[in-house]
Amino acid sequence: MRGLRDPINLLTLVAFALPAQAWAAQASNPPGADTIRRAGEAFRAGYAAQQAGKVEEARADFAEAAQLAPSIPEAHEALGAVLLELNRPAEAVGELETALKLKPDDPGTESNLALAYASAGQADKAIPYFHTVYTLSQQPGQAPVNEAFCEAYARALAATGKGDESIGLFHAAEERGGDRGELEDDIGTVYGRLDDQSGARNAFEQSIAADPKYVPARIHLGILLRRQRDVAGSIAALDAAVSLEPNNALAQFEYGRTLETAGKDEDALPHLQQAARLDPELTGSDAELGMVLQRLGRQEEAVPWFQKAVERDPRNANTLTNLALALTLTGKAKEALPWFQQALAEDPKNPTIPKDLGVAHIQLSAFDEAIEDFKAALALNPSDPQLHYDLGLAYKFKDRVDDAIAELSRAGRMDPTLPDPPYTLGILYMQLGNLDDAVDELKKAVALRPDNGDAWAILGSTLKQDSRYDEAREALEKAIPLLPGQPGPQVTLAGVLADQASAASQAADASEAAGDAQKAGQLRAQAKELRSRAAEYRRQAAEFSRAAVSRQRAEFALNAGNQLLLKGQVADAVARYQESVAADPTFAEAHSQLAVAYERQGRTADAEAERAKATSLASGK
């Protein structure tokens, strides 16, 4: 009985050594003596070539023998076996079928035909032959099949959904001396398909114990542990996999996915990028890279990865939506619309798609369309508080105040932990002049998100309008460090202090008129201190305003310089970069680009000096 690489058996050689009279008994149309001689020579040459490892020469010789003696089964069987060895199973099938027709119930031919069908991806056709040969081998006096046969039989069973049966054959292959690391990994994979996670994990761990360097088992174990939410275990398994095989694209990809699950997108990114470089055709890598970049806020970089993913799978609604959303977030909402529509056509019951489409319509100021989008999403998922918030925001933009208040309030009631509904409601109430309601909502917002400088600033401004100066000062003093460099809160706080100074002066006048000179003096001193602080905040605000104007001039000059440098107008580019540096000496990018331009002029020392300034500014030193 033969496995994948066993030599042609001696019976075949005997067949070609038979005299012409013996051939007549085997063939209905025996060839002539010369043809018999040539066929025998070709067959013996093929056998010698195969024994010498010259498999392609053997194939040619056996093909000649089969052509010269087409009615002799051994010629077709030998050719089929060699074709199987050359990994040409589809061609092998034809020759072995012919051999079996000429010589029915031959175990060797049936064995090779089973292997050929399995290798050709026709497991259903292979299994009856595997079963026949394996059953025969179990009978007394019969030679046992080898590990390659058992392994191939097991894989065929697994491929046709007969997992329980396949596990027994994998174990039979192990008993015959098969690679235990690889076979235990296969067993684990079958257990996984049977949803026996315990059996799968045990098999993968046994595979690693048998062969610690067998990377597929570590990858499969890592995937299984991630699905079981054992993220630490998954990271350990996949970290070992990429350490053993840094150029294994699948290991890098799955490691990146597990790091994503752990919330470590920054760490995941280089592994996903490495996987894409190693295997550009790796399924899912484009979309995964796009999603990580999207979560990191790098929308521009995410777009081309989503575009590749859509090219690969143009009917994937999630990928279409992600591409459309990335375009929207990069200010290209108009380009995003057809992708959203295509995603909706593929998955009309997914509330996320009309929700994100509504965001695109808001960016385009198409508020009526956005309202309809959010209503459509709510029809699919009415319990989503974020959707009620989005609808309320669209109503606000449309000046449908009552509808906006109703939806924003509903969102806040449905999920009191959401900071956006009270924040937006607070702004809306402030614009309507409902200062008490505005303050109540804004206080909720800053309690939920204490690091929101804008919310503190608006709360402070609202309290100032309501003449609640002490509370306003407290809110604005929290806003200022959260909004460094922004003049608005400084100006508002200066106004609060000035109003308090005026009130103190008026109180001083009243005390003086009442004959309380001591209290009047204290109040005038307080007023002076308040005016002094107000003046300082105004001065700081003015500096911030000047700095903002200077940075705008610097950025304008930088962009002009970049355009000139692209055109090769280096001297003009240098002048623009120098203008940028003069407008804002703290602008690191201007120094960096000036260094590039100096290098283009051959001014190496100047370039190094500018580059050093850029590095120092970028590091905050």
Cα–Cα distances in Å, from 550 out to 425, 447, 486, 554, 556? 35, 35, 14, 6, 10
**CA distance linking residue 459 with residue 411, whole number of Å:** 21
HSE-CB at 284 with a 13 A cutoff on CA atoms is 7
3-state secondary structure of 424: helix
> What percent of the chain lies above the pLDDT cut of 90?
59
**C-beta neighbour count of 416 within 10 angstroms:** 12
Residue 262 confidence (pLDDT): 95
> What percent of the chain lies above the pLDDT cut of 70?
95
Q: Which residue has the higher pLDDT, 19 or 439?
A: 439
Q: Which residue has the higher pLDDT, 40 or 234?
A: 234
Q: Assign 6 a pLDDT band (cuts: 50, 70, 90).
A: very low
Q: Which residue has the higher pLDDT, 425 or 600?
A: 425
Report, as an integer, the average pLDDT of 157-164.
90
Average pLDDT of the chain is 88
Q: Assign 31 a pLDDT band (cuts: 50, 70, 90).
A: low
**CA distance linking residue 369 with residue 388, whole number of Å:** 16
**What is the full DSSP assignment across 255-276?**
HHHHHHHTT-HHHHHHHHHHHH
**What is the full DSSP assignment across 78-104?**
HHHHHHHHTT-HHHHHHHHHHHHHHST
With a cut of 80, say whether residue 10 has pLDDT above it: no
Cα–Cα distances in Å, from 498 out to 60, 273, 461, 486, 530? 102, 57, 14, 20, 7
- Spatial CA neighbour of 483 closest among 430, 541, 442, 422: 541
**CA distance linking residue 76 with residue 66, whole number of Å:** 6
Cα–Cα distances in Å, from 512 out to 97, 427, 500? 120, 41, 18
**C-beta neighbour count of 350 within 10 angstroms:** 18
Q: Token pair 């692209």 is at which residue? A: 566
List pLDDT tens digits, range 540-555: 877 777 777 777 887 8
Instruction: With beta carbons less than 8 A apart as the criterion, state whether 259 and 242 touch.
Output: no
- Spatial CA neighbour of 347 closest among 377, 381, 315: 315
Instruction: With beta carbons less than 8 A apart as the criterion, state whether 349 and 317 touch.
Output: no
With a cut of 90, say whether residue 75 has pLDDT above it: no
Enumerate long-range contacts of 466-471, CB under 8 Å, 24 or more apart.
Answer: 466/435, 466/436, 466/439, 467/499, 468/439, 469/496, 469/499, 469/500, 469/503
| CA terminus-to-terminus distance, the chain | 78
User: Of 181-185, 189-193, 264-268, 588-592, where does the model show the most confidence?
Assistant: 264-268
Q: How buried is residue 567: exposed, middle or buried, by Cβ count under 10 Å (0-12/13-18/19+)?
A: exposed
Cα–Cα distances in Å, from 23 out to 12, 100, 159, 233, 327? 13, 18, 42, 66, 76
List pLDDT tens digits, range 456-508: 999 999 999 999 999 999 999 999 998 887 888 888 988 999 998 898 899 88
Report, as an integer, the average pLDDT of 103-111.
90
Residue 33 confidence (pLDDT): 75
User: Of 77-91, 367-381, 604-618, where does the model show the most confidence?
Assistant: 367-381
**CA distance linking residue 443 with residue 256, whole number of Å:** 41
With a cut of 70, say whether residue 533 has pLDDT above it: yes
Instruction: With beta carbons less than 8 A apart as the criterion, state whether 323 and 307 touch.
Output: yes
With a cut of 50, say whether residue 22 has pLDDT above it: no
Q: Which residue has the higher pLDDT, 71 or 268?
A: 268
CA 221 to the chain's CA centroid: 20
How would you label 206-227 residue by residue, b for 16+ Cβ within 10 Å and e otherwise? bbbebbeebbbbbbbbbbbbbe
With a cut of 60, say whether residue 578 has pLDDT above it: yes
Sequence-ordered list of residues with C-beta below 8 angstroms from that of 22, at least 6 positions apart, any chain: none
Residue 4 confidence (pLDDT): 35
Q: How buried is residue 203: exposed, middle or buried, by Cβ count under 10 Å (0-12/13-18/19+)?
A: buried
Instruction: With beta carbons less than 8 A apart as the criterion, state whether 24 and 30 touch.
Output: yes
Cα–Cα distances in Å, from 388 out to 48, 441, 443? 80, 17, 21
Residue 29 confidence (pLDDT): 54
Go through the domains of the chain in sequence order and give each one's CATH number: 1-129 (1.25.40.10), 485-619 (1.25.40.10)
- Spatial CA neighbour of 154 closest among 192, 197, 184: 184
Q: Which residue has the higher pLDDT, 380 or 537?
A: 380
Please tell me whether the overall predicted TM-score, pTM, comes out greater than 0.75 for this model.
no
With a cut of 80, say whether residue 447 has pLDDT above it: yes
Amino acid code (one letter) for 115: L
**CA distance linking residue 599 with residue 608, whole number of Å:** 9
Q: Assign 527 a pLDDT band (cuts: 50, 70, 90).
A: confident
**CA distance linking residue 387 with residue 403, whole number of Å:** 14
**CA distance linking residue 575 with residue 426, whole number of Å:** 48
**CA distance linking residue 430 with residue 452, whole number of Å:** 18
Residue 621 confidence (pLDDT): 57
Tokens standing for 571?
Answer: 């001297």
Residue 30 confidence (pLDDT): 58
Q: How buried is residue 198: exposed, middle or buried, by Cβ count under 10 Å (0-12/13-18/19+)?
A: exposed
**C-beta neighbour count of 611 within 10 angstroms:** 17
Give 485's DSSP letter.
T
Sequence-ordered list of residues with C-beta below 8 angstroms from that of 506, at least 6 positions apart, any chain: none
**CA distance linking residue 110 with residue 21, whole number of Å:** 28
**CA distance linking residue 410 with residue 383, whole number of Å:** 10
Amino acid code (one letter) for 70: P
Instruction: With beta carbons less than 8 A apart as the criterion, state whether 76 and 66 touch.
Output: yes
Beta strand spans in 140-185 (E): none
**What is the full DSSP assignment across 548-617?**
HHHHHHHHHHHHHHHHHHHTT-HHHHHHHHHHHHHH-TT-HHHHHHHHHHHHHTT-HHHHHHHHHHHHHH
**C-beta neighbour count of 281 within 10 angstroms:** 9
